[in-house]
């Protein structure tokens, strides 16, 4: 573990230099890692672990689309692919990567197989942090750990295949064996993390829920819609409005920010763009700060957790969700986006 100075604040960070893959492999050489769930994070984490030489099996509901996807990805029924319960029974480390609702539904089965010395692994702090609502209370004699990649499982896998790593946070909620740190860091390296930064379950879920509802998805989608609608209202074509709102951001500017930071991106645009961006940034920050304060309070108070749990308990929730997603998908802006993406030239 190293101490890294981030803007004047020292944080605990683990990199592959001080904890190389070989050390992670040696640490977990006698472990059986069962990845329960093959939805958002399951495919990327399990495939990366397998390609990195760890002993991995997958647990998934038989007959589901995800079961078929696991087979298509090379997992073999009866050898490396099992039912959820059979995988949990075989594991020494259970990677609990079902959805939050799925974790609640399967908890009694999983708890039955958490025998002393095993490890229970999460990639989201929801179930543990809001245990009074989820009922997920692990036995005292197992390690409870977390590795949360800062991106989707698809991104984790794509970056791994490209020889890159996606940064992840790590946390230890319960160290029953004295090996929780080595286990969690080994798993973090194994799933393909670029580097690992320390957090705890509560901070992970608070930041995650705030980020998803805020800048990563909710705020971003809302700001896209607001600017696109204003441009269309004032007579700009769908193509012009979409390119100016989404395409230029995602295809041109954000890669520059990712490479060198916002200041560098500003410095490499016209002086006209710089002046306007520097002036209006303050107005946008002040306008949205109260919204983010409300959002964080809703997350930290548990209100957002209650909304999620109640929504998932509804028998017709999936159908209702599809209707909301359909509204986005069939909006003029995102229909325009589908056509714009088709026109992107392929480089040979």
Domain 211-342 in CATH 1.10.1040.10? The answer is: yes
Q: Any idea which fold 2-199 has?
A: Rossmann fold (3.40.50)
CATH 1.10.1040.10 residue spans of the chain = 211-342
Q: Are 198 and 170 in contact (CB under 8 A)?
A: yes
* Known active-site residue 234: no
* pTM (2 d.p.): 0.90
Note the pLDDT of residue 171: 97
Alpha helices in the chain (DSSP H): 21-27, 42-51, 65-72, 84-90, 100-112, 126-129, 131-134, 153-161, 180-190, 201-213, 218-233, 238-242, 248, 254-260, 262-267, 271-300, 303-313, 317-329, 332-342
CATH 3.40.50.720 residue spans of the chain = 2-199
Q: Which of 124, 234, 236, 282 is catalytic?
A: 124
Q: Residues in the chain with pLDDT < 50? A: 348
Note the pLDDT of residue 347: 56
Note the pLDDT of residue 245: 96
């Amino acid at each position: 573990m190293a101490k890294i100075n981030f803007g004047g604040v020292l944080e605990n960070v683990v990199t592959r230099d001080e904890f190389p893959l070989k050390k992670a492999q040696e640490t977990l050489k006698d472990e059986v890692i069962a990845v329960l769930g093959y939805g958002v994070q399951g495919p990327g984490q399990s495939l990366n672990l397998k390609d990195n030489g760890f002993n991995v099996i997958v647990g998934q509901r038989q007959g589901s689309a995800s079961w078929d996807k696991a087979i298509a990805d090379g997992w073999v029924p009866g050898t490396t692919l099992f039912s959820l319960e059979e995988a949990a029974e075989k594991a020494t480390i259970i990677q609990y990567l079902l959805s939050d609702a799925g974790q609640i539904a399967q908890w009694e089965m999983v708890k039955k197989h958490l025998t002393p010395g095993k490890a229970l692994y999460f990639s989201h702090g929801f179930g543990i942090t809001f245990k009074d609502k989820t009922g997920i209370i692990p036995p005292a004699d197992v390690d409870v750990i977390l590795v949360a990649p800062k991106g989707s499982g698809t991104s984790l896998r794509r970056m791994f295949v490209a020889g890159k790593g996606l940064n992840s946070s790590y946390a230890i909620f319960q160290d029953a064996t004295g090996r929780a740190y080595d286990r969690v860091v080994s798993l973090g390296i194994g799933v393909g993390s670029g580097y690992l930064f320390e957090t705890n379950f509560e901070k992970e879920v608070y930041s995650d829920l705030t980020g998803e509802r805020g800048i990563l998805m909710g705020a971003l989608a809302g700001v896209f819609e607001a600017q696109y609608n204003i441009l269309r209202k004032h007579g700009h074509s769908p193509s012009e409005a979409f390119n100016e709102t989404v395409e230029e951001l995602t295809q041109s500017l954000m890669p520059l920010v990712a490479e060198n930071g916002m200041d560098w991106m500003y410095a490499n645009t016209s002086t006209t763009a710089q002046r306007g961006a520097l002036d209006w940034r303050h107005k946008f920050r002040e306008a949205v700060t109260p919204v983010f304060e409300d959002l964080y309070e809703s997350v930290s108070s548990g209100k957002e957790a209650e909304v999620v749990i109640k929504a998932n308990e509804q028998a017709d929730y999936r159908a209702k969700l599809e209707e909301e997603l359909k509204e986005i998908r069939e909006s003029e802006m995102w229909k325009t986006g589908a056509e714009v993406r088709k026109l992107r030239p392929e480089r040979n």
